[in-house]
Amino acid sequence: MTADRPRTRLFVESALASGGEAPLSPGQAHYLGRVLRMGTGDRLLAFNGRDGEWLAEVGALTKSAGTLRLLEKVRPQPAEPGPWLLFAPLKGGRTEYVVEKAVELGVGAIQPVFTRRSDVNRVNQERMRANAVEAAEQCERLSVPEVREAADLLRVLEGWDAGRTLFVAAESGRAEPLVMAVTARKGQPAAWLIGPEGGFDSEELDALRHLPFVVPVGLGPRILRADTAAFAALAAWQALAGDWTGDADGVRPPFRA
């Protein structure tokens, strides 16, 4: 019999196994008990990015602590080899928005980078990680992408694995049309680089074009804002080479409990 799927999902750090328990952080205990008004025996879904998704119920719960009792695995852990996203941090809360949507669009890692025209010169990595966790809980993915420490763009590229194609959203100059660029490299590890609102400067562009793993990509005749460019590039990649190209693999099975 197909049962209703619990609406609440929670990311936990501990291992998940049948008959086991998972401790709650103080913030999670507060959220379940004080915000959602959940209590002992109420059910939710738990995941940790390693052991699949589990039906669980609230065990002991206080204002600042608690446990989940693990009942049954309801989804196995899939491979989620999404592209990485490198982007210049943005002002006005838009960095958090980029993180949220990147998680929804299946990225495998998030790397903030500083460029010569960056408007922001530091980011709160802990806050970005919390945004990524919350987005994963809401969009029902079973992993949380790695949120890396912000670093200078050229320093990040110094240690780049040449086996991973870096698609660079290019505002001007020679660039391959997005569809052709992605389709020609389907099946290869990929990453996207989105520059700041003011774009890359000429020296940065020149340095990028001389790297063998870099592919400049055009996003059409209009200038897109940086966050729009990130979402457009990731969505196109998923449609052409990612998990939107699958059949039943892209559909969640019915929930049973």
pTM metric for this prediction: 0.91
Out of 33, 51, 75, a domain closes at 75
Same domain, 66 and 92: no
The CATH number of residue 123's host domain is 3.40.1280.10
Tokens standing for 160? 């780049």
Mean pLDDT score of the chain: 92
Same domain, 66 and 88: no
Alpha helices in the chain (DSSP H): 26-30, 94-104, 125-139, 153-158, 178-184, 202-209, 226-241
C-alpha span between 165 and 213 (Å, rounded): 5
Same domain, 96 and 43: no
pLDDT exceeds 90 at position 25 = yes
pLDDT exceeds 90 at position 246 = no
What does the pLDDT read at residue 204? 87
C-alpha span between 44 and 70 (Å, rounded): 10
How much is the average pLDDT of 144-153?
A: 96
Same domain, 149 and 131: yes
Q: What angle do CA 93, 243, 1 make, to 5 degrees?
A: 100
What does the pLDDT read at residue 172? 72
The DSSP letter of residue 130 is H
Q: What is the pLDDT of residues 157-178, one digit of tens each?
A: 998 999 999 999 987 778 899 9
* Residue recorded with tokens 């602590």: 65
The residue type found at 103 is: V
Same domain, 141 and 189: yes
The DSSP letter of residue 64 is S
